[in-house]
Amino acid sequence: MSPMAVTPQLKLDATKIRADFPIFEQLIHGKPLAYLDSAVTSHKPRQVLDVLRSFYETSYGNVHRGVYTLSERSTEAYEGARQKIASFINAPAPRELIFTRSATEGINLVAYAWGLSNLGPGDVVVVTELEHHSNFVPWQYVAGRTGADFRMIPLDDGGELQLDALDTVAGGGNVKVVATGLVSNSLGTINPIERLAGWAHEQGAIMVVDAAQAAPHRRIDVQALGCDFLAFSSHKMCGPTSVGALWGRGELLEAMEPFNLGGHMIRSVRFEETTWGEIPAKFEAGTQPIAEAVGFGAAVDYLNEVGLEAIEQHEHELAAYALERLGEIPGVTLYGPPADRRAGIVSFNVEGIHPHDVSQVLDWEGIAIRAGHHCCQPLMQKLGVSATNRASFYLYTLQDEIDRLIAGLEKVKKVFA
């Protein structure tokens, strides 16, 4: 089914959706759970949990191995999930969709398998000051290993990329990789991937996109984005942990060296020499997270059913509301772009109160938010803070939870006044 055939349902009933998620049926410190940390991981609907259980109970076996019934059922479910996830991002072909352990592993795969063979002295790897460590550290490391330069697209004061600095960043070097997140996990900034991909290709570079914070929340079309690789993770999008996906252009994946080596990724193994299998098998050595991949497929079904456009709209409304309410509290500093240019992520600090103390007090109110550097130490350095508080939203988030956050912050201020 092409994305064009999906009818946008622009209004989402979060209260109804919430009933699908068993985690909300409990009290935390005697209060209903207000879970405002979906950027770190999302909760799981019954629809996904049921698929996992039923798969283990009726169809589980190793994939691409046996000729018996269970192995066939398992393989069918696993490859079916690959097809669903590939069409979820409008990938031209399912074979270009590789199952990984996480978005992090997907980026490491590109950094090692493509980077080590294609980078060298005089080449430039470009990331941004916004990056999560998962899209920063692998490139810094591989650039260091190969002698390539490692550079950053700077941020402006509003937390958005300074696109007019692109040519300065390139600085006459041979730009070979441009790697950036689609949505910033810290500030919620939505980066202009189409524009960056165009620039990357003008330089002869590959465009690598970390979509961990985007794929759960907005419709992704890798062909429209014009990128070369795109990595994302199941656990942030209602699916199980320990499985992610990497999409790459077929011709690039085919030309690349393997990443993990072992069973299943081979064509033939001889004492003298081993040859690699076709993609995606070439990048899926060893027993894969089979049930998790099947659950990932169920999560994609669930999100499609709700509608990505409706989810994006819902989170946008929540972010705008949260920014407005937080902005009314004296002593609160907000970070990042205005509501119309950000996803459902809001970072802030309360004057004179460390984020750990803020989130600890909020926990007693049943409110879960993130406190820390969000795996973005370079960004924290840029903002001149050691940590921030971050509230992030998803399809099950209620406006009432933001009201509770605001009331909780009043309590925080009272405790530490």
Nearest distance in Å: CB 417, another protein:
9
Q: Does 29 participate in binding another protein (rule CB under 8 A)?
A: yes
Nearest distance in Å: CB 360, another protein:
7
Burial 303-312 (b: 16+ CB within 10 A, else e): bbebbbbbbb
Residue 228 sits at φ, ψ, to 5 deg, of: -105, -30
- Assess whether 375 carries a catalytic annotation: yes
Q: Does 373 participate in binding another protein (rule CB under 8 A)?
A: yes
Residue 177 sits at φ, ψ, to 5 deg, of: -135, 135
Interface segment toward another protein; rule CB under 8 A; list 88-96, 120-128, 300-308, 368-376: 368-376
C-alpha 46/C-alpha 323 separation (Å) is: 31
The label of the residue with tokens 């283990």 reads 56
Nearest distance in Å: CB 386, another protein:
2
Residues in 384-403 that interact with another protein by CB under 8 A: 385-387
CA dist list (Å): 228 to 183, 200, 206, 329, 364: 17, 10, 6, 43, 45
Nearest distance in Å: CB 355, another protein:
7
Q: Does 364 participate in binding another protein (rule CB under 8 A)?
A: yes
Pick 109 or 362: Cβ nearer another protein: 362
Q: Are 160 and 189 in contact (CB under 8 A)?
A: yes
Interface segment toward another protein; rule CB under 8 A; list 53-61, 182-190, 273-281, 358-366: 358-366
Interface segment toward another protein; rule CB under 8 A; list 170-178, 194-202, 295-303, 351-359: 351-359
Pick 37 or 315: Cβ nearer another protein: 37
Q: Are 193 and 207 in contact (CB under 8 A)?
A: yes
Cα–Cα–Cα angle for 397, 417, 391, nearest 5°?
Answer: 20
C-alpha 153/C-alpha 163 separation (Å) is: 8
Q: Pick from 106, 188, 355, 408: which binds another protein (CB under 8 A)?
A: 355
Q: Are 74 and 63 in contact (CB under 8 A)?
A: yes
What single letter denotes the amino acid at residue 361?
V
Angle between the N-to-C axes of helices 308-327 and 399-416, in degrees from 0 to 180, rounded to the nearest 10: 30
Q: Pick from 354, 382, 403, 406: which binds another protein (CB under 8 A)?
A: 354
Nearest distance in Å: CB 357, another protein:
5
Q: Does 415 participate in binding another protein (rule CB under 8 A)?
A: yes
Q: Pick from 79, 301, 317, 357: which binds another protein (CB under 8 A)?
A: 357
Beta strand residue intervals within 1-41, DSSP E: 27-28, 31-32, 34-35
What DSSP element (H or E) covers 409?
Answer: helix 399-416
Catalytic residue among 227, 238, 375, 376: 375
Cα–Cα–Cα angle for 359, 104, 388, nearest 5°?
Answer: 25
Nearest distance in Å: CB 411, another protein:
10
Q: Does 372 participate in binding another protein (rule CB under 8 A)?
A: yes
Task: Give the binding-site size for another protein (rule: CB under 8 A).
Answer: 17
C-alpha 157/C-alpha 337 separation (Å) is: 9
Q: Pick from 56, 202, 356, 400: which binds another protein (CB under 8 A)?
A: 356
Active site residues: 375
Applying CB under 8 A, the residues found at the interface with another protein are 29, 354-357, 360-361, 364, 371-373, 380, 385-387, 415-416
